[in-house]
Structure 1
Amino acid sequence: MKSITINGSKRESVGKKATKALRNAGQVPCVLYGVEGNPLHFAAEEIAFQNLVYTPDVHTVKIKLGSGESFDAILQDIQFHPVSDAILHIDFYQIFEDRPITMEIPIHTEGVARGVKNGGVLRYNLRRLKVRGLPGDLPDYITANVSKLKIGQKLYVTAVESEDYKIQHPDNTVICQVRTSRNIVEDLEDDDEDEVAADEVPATETDDVAAVKEGEDTKE
């Protein structure tokens, strides 16, 4: 997983007055938890968080302080101003290479679903998966291949299992599914290599397409 470096400085005072002064100076007050059990208060320029906060990707963070100290961490919580959306406060959690962590990793779909080619619509139930593993084993994103999905079929989290991480969702959690639409066309059965038997797609559920009426959702 990619890492972003944040250069900051320790905060000598954590009162409301000092915090307000930091924000007025374009700094974001932060707290790093997990440092020998004691929270570490620091601050950094707001612009330093642009590539960490305003992106759909996830990263680990290397926090470098002016004192020469350096910590590996992940973003735990963030607060925004209700009107301006400016960053008000960020919490980080220290990580270690030999200790597993839990993170939400983005899902990237691959391929075009067979059901979409026949007029169906691909609906997403999840955009991120909560997984647990060692920091060095967690990917930048999780790839989910949807090319074999027919109308009425679903892709479950079991389809993206990996030895590198453990998925923190029940096995019956749906990532996405192909729903019927007004533009549905007949899915012609043939003997070419693209034909996949239902039992060869363990992460999908086959519905009776013939029972679908125009304008109604596919029965599950």
Structure 2
Amino acid sequence: MKSITIKGSERESVGKKATKALRNAGKVPCVVYGGEKPLHFSADELAFRNLVYTPNAHTVKVDLKDGQKVKAVMQDIQFHPVTDKILHIDFYQLFDDKELTMDIPVKLEGNSPGVRNGGRLLFRKRKLSIKALPDNLPDFFDVDISTLKIGDNITVESLLSEDFTILHPESTVVVQVKTQRAAVVVEDEDEEGVEGEEGVEATAEGAEGAAEGGAAPAEGGEAASE
């Protein structure tokens, strides 16, 4: 998984006044949990742009001015209810030999033939929770929908890997194509057309037979009268 470096400074004070002063200066107060003790630091709000405002998942390298470097992953974030500015971020420290739980985004690749025929694509799981060692975390799940016809689906079972554990039942549907009233299955339409033509020919043959059968008694009647 790709990592983003956040350069900051360790916070000397964690009180309300100090926190307010940081925010007024355009910085975001943060905490890293999971180590021997919480690590309080701050960084410029712009430093979190590629971490927060993206659908992709990333790990973080916290690089502090005093030389401390910590690998972490974002756990929680708070925004201002009016301005949407970042108020606070919680991180969790990563260890190479310790598994962690993380939500990984799902990306769809290709074009579904079922959708082209009028079906409706339902993206059921845009993120999947997994448990893995930091080095085994995938950037995203790449799901190919180029073979999905109307009525087909892709489940978690097809995404299983030995590198991580997906924390959802194997039968969980990730994406599916459902039918709509306007949906048309091209193969069925062709078959129905052929059957319809045969039905018309059979009806025509029946009508000709009935006409011929109707003419015979008339001729027989004339012969009898003669």
TM-score of the pair, normalised by structure 1: 0.82
Shift of 1:149: 2.1
Which has the larger helix fraction? 2
Q: How does 1:134-153 map to 2 (within 5 A)?
A: 134-153=133-152
Moved more, 76-85 or 116-125: 116-125
Report if aligned partners of 1:113, 1:148 keep a CA contact under 8 Å in 2: yes
Q: Deviation string for 1:121-174 (max 9, x for gaps)?
A: 111111111111111111111111222222122211111111211101112211
Please state whether the residue corresponding to 1:58 is helix, strand or coil: coil
Other-structure match for 2:7: 7
Shift of 1:187: 4.0
Please state whether the residue corresponding to 2:187 is helix, strand or coil: coil
Q: What residue identity is the alignment partner of 2:163?
A: D
Report if aligned partners of 1:144, 1:159 keep a CA contact under 8 Å in 2: no
Which whole-Å CA distance do the structure 1 matches of 2:151 and 2:133 have between them?
36
Other-structure match for 1:155: 154
Which whole-Å CA distance do the structure 2 matches of 1:52 and 1:96 have between them?
20
> Pairwise CA RMSD of aligned residues?
1.2
Which whole-Å CA distance do the structure 2 matches of 1:109 and 1:176 have between them?
9
Please state whether the residue corresponding to 1:162 is helix, strand or coil: coil
Other-structure match for 2:201: none
Shift of 1:186: 2.1
Which whole-Å CA distance do the structure 2 matches of 1:16 and 1:75 have between them?
22
Q: What residue identity is the alignment partner of 1:106?
A: P
Which whole-Å CA distance do the structure 2 matches of 1:59 and 1:80 have between them?
19
Q: Deviation string for 1:165-199 (max 9, x for gaps)?
A: 1101112211111011243112417xxxxxxxxxx
**Quick one: percent identity of the two aligned structures?**
58
Which whole-Å CA distance do the structure 2 matches of 1:186 and 1:51 have between them?
43
Other-structure match for 1:186: 185
Other-structure match for 1:207: none
Which whole-Å CA distance do the structure 2 matches of 1:121 and 1:90 have between them?
38
> Does 2:178 correspond to 1:171?
no
Other-structure match for 2:67: 68
Q: From the CA coordinates, give the structure whose radius of gyration is larger.
A: 2
Which whole-Å CA distance do the structure 2 matches of 1:140 and 1:186 have between them?
36
Moved more, 178-187 or 166-175: 178-187
Q: How does 1:1-220 map to 2 (within 5 A)?
A: 1-36=1-36, 38-188=37-187
Shift of 1:42: 0.7
Q: What residue identity is the alignment partner of 2:21?
A: A
Moved more, 63-72 or 109-118: 109-118
Q: Unaligned 5+ residue runs, structure 2? A: 189-226
Q: What residue identity is the alignment partner of 2:129?
A: K
Which whole-Å CA distance do the structure 2 matches of 1:113 and 1:164 have between them?
29
Moved over 4 A (4+): none
Q: What residue identity is the alignment partner of 1:19?
A: T
TM-score of the pair, normalised by structure 2: 0.80
Which whole-Å CA distance do the structure 1 matches of 2:106 and 2:34 have between them?
28
Q: What residue identity is the alignment partner of 2:57?
A: V
Q: What residue identity is the alignment partner of 1:180?
A: T
Q: What residue identity is the alignment partner of 2:15?
A: G
Q: What residue identity is the alignment partner of 1:137?
A: N
Which whole-Å CA distance do the structure 1 matches of 2:163 and 2:111 have between them?
26
Please state whether the residue corresponding to 1:188 is helix, strand or coil: helix
Q: What residue identity is the alignment partner of 1:74?
A: V
Which whole-Å CA distance do the structure 1 matches of 2:78 and 2:52 have between them?
11
